[in-house]
Amino acid sequence: MTHNYTPVADTVRGVLDHYAESQPNVQFAYFPETKQSLSYAALRQELHNQIGLFQRHGLQPGDTVSFMMCNGRTSLVLFLAAIYGGYIISPLNPAAGDEQLTYVIEHSDTRAVFVSAEFAEQVTSIVKQLASGIQVHQLDVDTGCPEGLDTAPVLAAVSAEQDGMLMYTSGTTGRPKGVVLTHKNLLAGGMNTAVSHE
């Protein structure tokens, strides 16, 4: 059976908005750790809530935002919220040593790092050495962004060619190398994954 995986929009925000409006109650994700699921409509609400938190901390669209936490509801929402809101998300690898993490945090020009409890001390120590004004914020890995924040944040326009993610190679033969992915790249990667699982 062959499916048409042509994206319904040319940005991550456009795709998520499309499904939040066309099938709001359909399950987007399931989290076995907490036995909770997240619909497309609920996802969009949580994305807006997280973007409101970014804005409360003075982060502007186009800023790089990093995170280091285990997989779960919070890491998923944080990852998507940054891209959806026009920020650049830069995931940090918990398996990397302090030297690589220090380099990546500094090289990425990140403005804030969001962490779960188990990584808070390590990341705070690294950031203090950089003396660069980088913010560190701790979030619960299962409950995420505190409720009661701005649920209708101001959203900057995003485009298919806009940077959405900054990844770093492992750096086994030298310094880690940054790889920038646009919204278009991210959607193409998603389509390739869907096709390969067909």
pLDDT tens-digit map of 21-56: 999 999 999 999 889 899 999 999 999 999 999 999
149 within a domain of the structure (yes/no): no
Q: Is the pLDDT of residue 172 over 80?
A: no
Q: How big is the CA angle at 74 (ends 44 and 84), to the nearest 5 degrees? A: 40
Residue 91 · residue 67 · CB < 8 Å:
yes
34 within a domain of the structure (yes/no): no
14 within a domain of the structure (yes/no): no
The average confidence (pLDDT) of the chain is 88
Which tens digit of pLDDT belongs to each residue from 77-120?
999 999 999 999 999 999 888 999 999 999 999 999 999 999 99
| Whole-number pLDDT of residue 61 | 96
Q: What's the pTM? A: 0.90
| Whole-number pLDDT of residue 180 | 94
156 within a domain of the structure (yes/no): no
152 within a domain of the structure (yes/no): no
| Whole-number pLDDT of residue 13 | 96
Domain count, the chain: 1
Q: Is the pLDDT of residue 2 over 80?
A: no
With pLDDT > 90 as the criterion, what percentage of the chain qualifies? Answer: 65
Amino acid at 46: E
| Whole-number pLDDT of residue 146 | 61
CA distance 20 to 12: 12
65 within a domain of the structure (yes/no): yes
Query: 105: how many CB neighbours lie within 10 A of its CB?
Result: 24
18 within a domain of the structure (yes/no): no
37 within a domain of the structure (yes/no): no
Residue 79 is part of a domain; what is its CATH number?
A: 3.40.50.980
| Whole-number pLDDT of residue 1 | 47
Residue 191 lies in domain: 60-142+162-196
pLDDT band at 171 (very low <50, low <70, confident <90, very high): low
Which tens digit of pLDDT belongs to each residue from 132-154?
889 999 998 777 666 555 557 88
Q: Which of the 8 DSSP states describes residue 179? A: E
